[in-house]
C-alpha cells in the first residue's frame, strides 16, 4: 500500500505527460506519480483498460486493496490538486455544489476521448511545458523602472515648480489653498489631499520635489528591502499625490493620473499574484479606453483612418522623426491609423490570455508605445506604459531574455575577436612597399 497518494497515468499520452509534470511541481512531493506501463501490473485490482481511459489515484490506508481506495476521472484530479497550495476549492466545489461533479466528469470524458486534439491545443495555449508562474524578478524589474520614472517626474518638477505654483508663480499655491479652504472648510483637507496644507512656501515646495527625487534614487538602488521598501513606495505616492493636487492645471494630465494609480498599486507588490492581475487590468483599461475614446469621439478622421495623416504635425511636441513620418504616403497613414486602433482595442484582451498569446499582446503593445515615444514627446507617459507591460511576462520569460542577450553578446565578442585587424594589414602593406 502506498505511503502517499499515487497517481497512475498513461505514459504514452503526450497530453497527460504535460499536465503530470505541472502537477508534480505544484504538489511538491506530496503526491507520487507513475506511468501505468511501469506500475500497472502491481495493481491487478485495476482493469488494464481503466489506465487508458482515465488517471487512477490510489489513496493510502485501505484494507481492501494493496493500493488503497482507487479514484478516477475528475475526482482523482481534484483530490490530487488538493495537495497543492491554494487548490482546495475545486474539490470543495466538486463535493458541495450539485452541478460541478457531473459537469466536470463529462468534461473529463470529453478531453480523455480527444487527447490528441487537446494535446495540440495545450501546446498552442501553454507551450511545451507548464510551470507555476513566478513574478519575483518581474516585480524587481518593474520597481526599478518605476523608480526611474519617479525620478524623472520629481527632478523635472524641482527645476520649474516655483515658477508654476510658487508664491510668484503662474498659479500661486497659497491663493489656491486659501480659496479651497474658504469654499469647503474642513472638507477641503479630504477633498484636496496634500501635505502642502502644512506649509506651501517656495522652499517647502522645492524640498518636496527634491525629497521625492532622493527617495526615487533610493528605490532605484534597491537600498531598502521588505516592509521598508513598501514604506518607501508609500512615501513616494504621498509626495507625488501632494504635488499633483497642488499642481492644478500643470499636473492634470493623463500621465500624472497613471503614475498615481501605478504608484498606489506598487505599494502592495509581493503580497499576492492578484496584484499582478490588477496591474494587467490597469494596462488593459489604459490601452482599451485609449482606442475606444477615439472611435466614440465622433471625429471622422478616426473612422476613415486618416487621423495619422496630420497627427504628426498637430501633436504638442513632435520629434525630428515625426517630420519624416508625416511625409509618408496617405495609404501608409491609413494603415497606421487602423493598426493603432487594432492594437488599442483588440490586442488588450490578450493581456488575460494564456502565456504565449499574452506575450504576443505584450510585444505589440510595446511596439506601439515605442513608435509613439519616438515620434512625440509625452513626458514619461510612454515609458510608464511600457513599464506596465512587464507584468505581461513572468520570471521564466525574463530569464530567457537574459540568456539570449548573453548569448548574443558572447557571439558578438567572438566575431570581434576573430575579425581581421586593419592595423595589421596596413603594416603588411608598408613592409611590402
Residue-wise burial string across 46-75, b where 16 or more C-beta atoms lie within 10 A, e elsewhere: beeebbeebbbbbbeeeeeeebbebbbbbb
Among 312, 267, 316, 261, which residue's Cα sits nearest to residue 289? Answer: 261
What is the layout of strands, in order, in the sheet containing 32-35? Answer: 32-35, 6-9, 56-59, 69-72
Q: Worst-scoring range by mean pLDDT, 39-43, 120-124, 421-425? A: 421-425
Which residues, including other chains, have CB under 8 Å from residue 433's CB and lie 6 or more apart? none
Among 322, 306, 431, 302, which residue's Cα sits nearest to residue 375? Answer: 322
pLDDT digits (tens, 9 = 90+) for 68-86: 688 999 999 999 999 988 8
DSSP 253: S
Among 319, 287, 284, 290, which residue's Cα sits nearest to residue 307? Answer: 290
pTM over 0.85: no
Q: What is the pLDDT of residue 430?
A: 43
Q: Are the beta carbons of 54 and 113 closer than 8 angstroms? A: no
Q: What is the pLDDT of residue 428?
A: 45
CA–CA gap between residue 197 and residue 177 (Å, rounded): 8
Decide the pairing of beta strands 6-9 and 32-35. Answer: parallel
| Sole residue written with cell 506604459 | 385
The stretch 23-36 carries a mean pLDDT of 90
pLDDT digits (tens, 9 = 90+) for 197-246: 999 899 999 999 999 999 999 999 988 888 899 999 999 999 999 999 99
Q: What is the pLDDT of residue 423?
A: 56
Q: Worst-scoring range by mean pLDDT, 17-21, 320-324, 387-391, 413-417? A: 413-417
Amino acid at each position: 500500500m502506498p505511503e502517499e497518494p499515487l497517481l497512475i497515468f498513461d505514459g504514452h499520452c503526450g497530453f497527460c505527460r504535460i499536465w503530470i509534470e505541472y502537477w508534480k511541481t505544484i504538489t511538491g512531493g506530496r503526491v507520487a506519480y507513475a506511468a501505468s506501463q511501469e506500475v500497472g501490473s502491481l495493481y491487478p485490482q485495476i482493469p488494464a483498460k481503466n489506465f487508458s481511459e482515465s488517471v487512477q489515484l490510489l489513496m493510502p490506508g485501505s484494507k481492501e486493496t494493496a493500493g488503497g481506495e482507487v479514484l478516477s476521472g475528475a475526482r482523482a484530479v481534484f483530490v490530487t490538486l488538493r495537495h497543492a497550495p491554494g487548490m482546495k476549492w475545486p474539490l470543495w466545489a466538486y463535493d458541495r455544489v450539485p452541478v460541478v461533479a457531473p459537469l466536470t466528469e463529462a468534461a473529463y470524458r470529453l478531453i480523455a476521448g480527444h487527447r490528441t486534439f487537446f494535446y495540440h491545443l495545450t501546446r498552442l495555449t501553454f507551450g511545451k511545458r507548464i510551470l507555476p508562474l513566478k513574478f519575483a524578478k518581474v516585480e524587481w524589474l518593474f520597481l526599478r523602472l518605476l523608480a526611474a520614472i519617479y525620478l524623472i517626474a520629481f527632478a523635472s518638477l524641482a527645476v520649474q515648480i516655483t515658477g508654476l505654483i510658487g508664491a510668484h508663480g503662474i498659479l500661486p499655491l497659497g491663493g489656491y489653498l486659501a480659496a479651497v479652504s474658504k469654499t469647503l472648510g474642513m472638507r477641503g483637507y479630504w477633498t484636496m489631499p496634500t501635505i502642502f496644507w502644512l506649509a506651501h512656501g517656495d522652499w517647502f515646495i522645492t524640498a518636496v520635489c527634491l525629497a521625492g527625487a532622493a527617495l526615487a534614487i533610493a528605490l532605484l538602488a534597491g537600498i531598502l528591502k521588505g516592509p521598508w521598501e513598501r514604506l518607501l513606495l508609500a512615501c513616494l505616492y504621498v509626495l507625488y499625490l501632494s504635488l499633483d493636487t497642488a499642481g492644478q492645471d500643470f499636473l492634470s494630465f493623463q500621465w500624472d493620473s497613471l503614475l498615481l494609480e501605478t504608484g498606489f498599486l506598487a505599494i502592495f507588490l509581493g503580497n499576492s499574484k492578484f496584484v499582478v492581475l490588477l496591474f494587467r487590468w490597469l494596462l488593459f483599461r489604459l490601452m482599451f479606453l485609449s482606442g475606444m475614446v477615439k472611435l466614440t469621439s465622433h471625429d471622422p478622421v478616426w473612422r476613415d483612418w486618416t487621423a495619422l495623416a496630420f497627427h504628426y504635425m498637430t501633436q504638442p511636441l513632435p520629434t525630428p522623426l515625426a517630420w519624416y513620418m508625416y511625409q509618408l504616403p496617405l495609404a501608409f497613414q491609413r494603415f497606421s491609423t487602423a493598426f493603432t486602433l487594432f492594437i488599442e482595442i483588440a490586442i488588450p484582451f490578450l493581456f488575460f490570455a494564456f502565456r504565449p498569446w499574452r506575450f504576443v499582446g505584450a510585444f505589440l503593445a510595446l511596439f506601439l508605445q515605442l513608435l509613439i515615444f519616438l515620434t512625440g514627446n509625452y513626458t514619461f507617459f510612454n515609458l510608464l506604459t511600457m513599464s506596465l507591460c512587464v507584468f505581461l511576462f513572468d520570471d521564466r520569460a525574463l530569464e530567457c531574455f537574459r540568456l539570449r542577450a548573453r548569448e548574443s553578446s558572447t557571439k558578438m565578442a567572438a566575431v570581434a575577436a576573430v575579425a581581421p585587424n586593419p592595423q595589421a594589414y596596413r603594416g603588411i602593406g608598408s613592409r611590402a612597399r
